[in-house]
Structure 1
Amino acid sequence: LQRDILTIRLDDAKRTFELMGYQGMLSKHGFCRDKRVEDGVALLREMSRRGLVADTVSYNTLIHGFCQMGELNADHSLFNEMISHGVSPDSITCAILVRGLCGNGKLEKALKMFKVMRERNMDMDTGVYNIIIHGMCKAGKLEEAWNLFTDLLLSGLQPDVKTYNMMIRFSTFWRAEKLYAEMLSRGIVPDTITYISMIHGLCKQNNLAEARKVFDSMDSKSCSTYNTLINGYCKARRVDDGMDLFCEMYQRGIVANIITYTTLVYGFRQVGDFKTALDIFQEMVSNGMHSSSITFRDILPDLCSKKELQKAVAMLVDLQKSEVGMSSKNVRL
């Protein structure tokens, strides 16, 4: 009897070892990593002939491989196959399929599959909802996105910061304000994307005082955060406030980028302060930054119109020494 039990255990161990070997070949270190997904399917068939049942991880790997190749029909066939074989899809399976459909512009199919998954009580998490909501938002299907957001809340799942960021970004401002207040009441900590969306929205509403309050409430700030508020100030012709933020960036060791400089240059040109615009532009160029949206050709007419001919000539000389390059037709002195 003991010998029989030992034999059974050895057989089980052998099958387990074989299964692990097959799964390893299907994993990211095997066929699917090299985009040899068809070979992976052949391996799956060989497993079946040997009486080995692939697990959820194996199916997920193959489905992900087909999604990456845009072979959506193949991955749906595998999805149906795993269900028919009694292998339970998990939240990763759902995420892979929904992301694949959304990424290939198949939004209606993605929504249909999402509903099927939900009706079958599959393992859905907030991440799966985020994928489908993001797809709907990007496609401008905002009501569908709102319906999904409401369904997420009713399902008992909790939205996370990514969920709120998407809804805030693509909502009207009055809705965004409510969402922002709601996420704070739920104890969800805003991230940089949240703050940038709110600051941008408040600036568009010309509510710069509230935008500054949101900005000041941040524990840490990035160049993108500064750029957003600087842009709001410059569009409101409050260029001095924008310049103060620019100086604050320097004091905090935050390096300005091409967006920072061009925003300030446009702002000072808008209020007619061409001298400061030139100073900022020259600093931008001296820092090795060259913008296609604002060039010497844009700055020189401003100087010429203000009879700053000496500066214009000096800039033209600098231009000839720089890597920017400009043909004679670009400016007339």
Structure 2
Amino acid sequence: MTTTVTAAVARGTGDPLTIEHLQLDALRPDEVRVRMVAVGICHTDAIVRDGVYPTPLPAVLGHEGAGVVEATGDAITTVAVGDHVVLSAAYCGHCRQCRSGRMAYCENLFAEDFGGRRRDGSTAFSSAEGPVSSHFFGQSSFATYANVMENSVIKVDPDLPLATLAPLGCGLQTGAGAVLNELRPEPGTSLAVFGTGAVGSAAIMAARVAGCTTVVAVDIHDSRLAMAQELGATHTVNSRENDVVEELRKITDGEGLQFALDTTAVPAVLRQAAEALGIRGTLALVGAASPGTAVDFEIGSSLVKGWTFKTIVQGSSVPQVFIPHMVELWKQGRFPFDKLIENYRFDDINTAFADSANGKTVKPVVVF
């Protein structure tokens, strides 16, 4: 039996989303039907809409959903009808990486999160014109209702506001997890974040949680740098107005950074971050770039620094473990990510995308 839902559909590469009525198919045994309350807008939604990543269009995107469980498939054991849930990335659960607790590096990541179909090839959404890609990140939460994969569902306290918790599913988890799960800086260390959107802001907050005493925000928007200071940055650098490497050397008394996190995936920015590292420093990339994007690092004189470069996916998180940790930090006032959020009506979803792209809003959240 199908259900009529309202969804924001990406129909053409680079085109605005269109609000449409679609048919949602019957719930499968391993799925959870969720009534969406809110969903965050993430850069990954934009680059898929624009054809950078391979989800087939038309598609219902959205991967930072939050809502209430309306029904559960026969095989579901982790949630029940009426539970409040936050939604995150999907993973296969049976590959070597998943079995080792490294779900963020699932060997089937592209199929699970970007494939636009269930494993049997079916789609949950359809229109009069035909199938519409579904199960984006296991959820496709730009819709009033969705059939969601069980491993994308994280139960949360029903007394907490779902419109606030929604962005924890991807961007904030990526930034905070990159610091707390992967880089793991020791107290008293230095860390710079390049790009202070939602991901970078989460990394700044996490750096203070970890005990970093030098936390530098690097960006081109003074408004975002001011917010970064409010969230815990000890120093800021406007990269349009300053020699970034020179400023970072001054801030670290000539020693260079111990940790640098790039959220931009801009090759020139990555080179600056590498140059600003000190001996045995670590540079990590979390920003998404087009396939084939390359960056060159100096490996002559920098060889003696013994520095490390690594890429990080989804904050190296197990969402069912790490999202509750972020919620608890927020409740304690140590992870004030709610300061980044601006709410939008569902009909204004394209405005939310535009405000995110131009820097007006750090983290747009669409409320149904």
Question: Could you say which TM-score interval applies, normalised by the shorter chain?
Answer: under 0.3
Higher RCO, 1 vs 2 (CA within 8 Å, ≥6 residues apart): 2
TM-score of the superposed pair, with normalisation by structure 2:
0.24
Greater share of helix: 1
TM-score of the superposed pair, with normalisation by structure 1:
0.26
